[in-house]
Amino acid sequence: MARSSVLPVVVVLAFLGLALAGRSLEQPAARRSTLAGSLTPSGWSHALRVKGGKWCGLRDFPPLPDGYGVSRLYCPWNAYDHNWMWRVIKATGTGPITSGDEVLLYINNPMLKYCRSTSLVECGYGQSNATKFVVEKDTGSGAINFATDSVVLKAAGKYCKLVGAKHSQTLKCNVAAKGSATVFQLPAASFTNTQLINQLSLSACGADFFYDGDGEALVGCGTPRGPGFTINNTVALGTPGAPVVTAGVNVTFKAYDNLYSYQVSVWKVDKNGNVWYDVNNTRGTSQWFVLERLTGAATGGEVTTKTNVALKSASNGKYCGIPLGNIDGDMKCDLAGPLSALPAGYKYTYIVI
């Protein structure tokens, strides 16, 4: 599939970032430490939704002609889409974000990442032009746990409220009463940066991010690789919630272009069991996989770094791997199991970088 027409202009620069593809978020140094100013572990981003209601993203995105520019925040979708990767960053200081703190609202997808409140809330600004929002629990006080707490936003002393409907909707921060503000939830949704190391090839699995040939860009775990082969993956949760990758629960793997960060490729399984990169389409049931431990309890509990796992397609129920006779072969989800009988090409080590 062809990428956006803006890509060839900077393809050389984009290649330089592909060693880090999948980590277009600002990366903390410690992978399981607490993100400065948040109870969300480092490397995680959120989905954004109206409490108990619709999911949020950006309208008229990416902005024309080259991806730079701003897009307004709105919340029109009934279904969760892990493409939108939000963060709430403490504006000053460190430690957990507490109700009443000033924060920056950050979204990974635009070229410029921060949101600003003027007559409405739009995202796509540099940090120097970002609004310092105040975040408050909708009820109660104290440290905010974004996995469980609901929040409201305030800018320049006024609370923020969604107005309008469907694609005309906007978020305006002009409401005096907290009780009239829109209540949001920010469950954890995506975790960057991970690798799956195949135990037959002893190489990380990925695909050609810039593939532009016939057919599908297929996922493999062998060598050699071209400059567009991405091995660093962001894990997306099938159901957002706590910031944990859980064995036996739906996840998928994706990578974002480090420069044109609105470009995303997602692992999916086709009707023949091939694992391929779908371009700019983070919807559909064929994207979901589960990780199962090779020792101990196969499912349940957090999958931590260096855990040995099997990868199973949630859509066809088959385990996924590469053929014994060709370590450079493409990944297929074609073995029924059992888990204990899987060959080395169907076993992996999950790594958090």
DSSP SS3 for 20: helix
Burial of 214 (0-12, 13-18, 19+ CB in 10 A): exposed
The pLDDT tens digits of the residues spanning 261-279 come to 999 999 999 999 999 999 9
Report percent pLDDT > 90 for the chain: 82
C-alpha–C-alpha distance, residues 245 and 259, integer Å: 27
Percent composition of the chain: helix, strand, coil (DSSP 3-state, to 5)? 10, 40, 50
Task: Give the mean pLDDT of 83-87.
Answer: 98
Q: Does residue 20 have a pLDDT over 70?
A: no
One DSSP character per residue, 114-167 reads EEEESSSEEEEE-GGG---EEEEESSS-SB--TTT-EEEEEETTEEEEEES-GG
Instruction: Assign 190 to helix, strand or coil.
Output: strand
Q: What's the rounded Cα separation, in Å, for the pair 155 and 132?
A: 7
Q: Give the Cα separation of 221 and 324 in Å (integer).
A: 12
Q: Tokens representing 172?
A: 């305006």
- For 239, the 3-state DSSP assignment is strand
Is this prediction's pTM over 0.85? yes
State what percent of residues in the chain have pLDDT above 70. 89
Sign of the CA dihedral running 86, 90, 92, 93:
negative
**pLDDT tens digits along 132-154:** 999 999 999 999 999 999 999 99
pLDDT at 303: 98
- Kindly tell me if the per-residue pLDDT of 15 is higher than 50: no
Average pLDDT over residues 304-324: 98
DSSP state of 346: G
Q: Determine the pLDDT at residue 224.
A: 74
Query: Residues 6 or more apart from 139 whose CB is under 8 A from it?
Result: 150
Q: How far apart are CA 298 and CA 300, in angstroms?
A: 7
Query: CA 178 from chain center: how many Å?
Result: 31
Give the pLDDT of residue 39.
58
pLDDT, position 23:
37
CA 186 to chain centroid? 13
Tokens encoding 174: 């002009």
What confidence tens digit (pLDDT) does each residue in 192-246 have? 999 999 999 999 999 999 998 889 999 999 987 788 899 999 999 999 999 999 9
Residue 249: φ, ψ to 5°: -110, 145
Q: What is the DSSP string of 307-336?
A: EEEEEEETTT--EEE--TT-TTSBPEEEE-
User: What is the per-residue pLDDT across 23-82, written as a single tens digit (0 to 9) for each?
Assistant: 333 333 233 334 444 457 889 999 999 999 999 999 999 998 788 999 999 999 999 999
Task: Give all domains of the chain, ordered by start, each with its CATH number.
Answer: 48-186 (2.80.10.50), 189-352 (2.80.10.50)
Buried b vs exposed e over 144-155: b needs ≥16 C-beta within 10 Å?
Answer: bebbebbbbbbb
Task: State in Å, rounded, how far the first CA of the chain is from the last one.
Answer: 29
- How far apart CA 353 and CA 350 sit, in angstroms, is 10
pLDDT band at residue 12 under the 50/70/90 scheme: very low
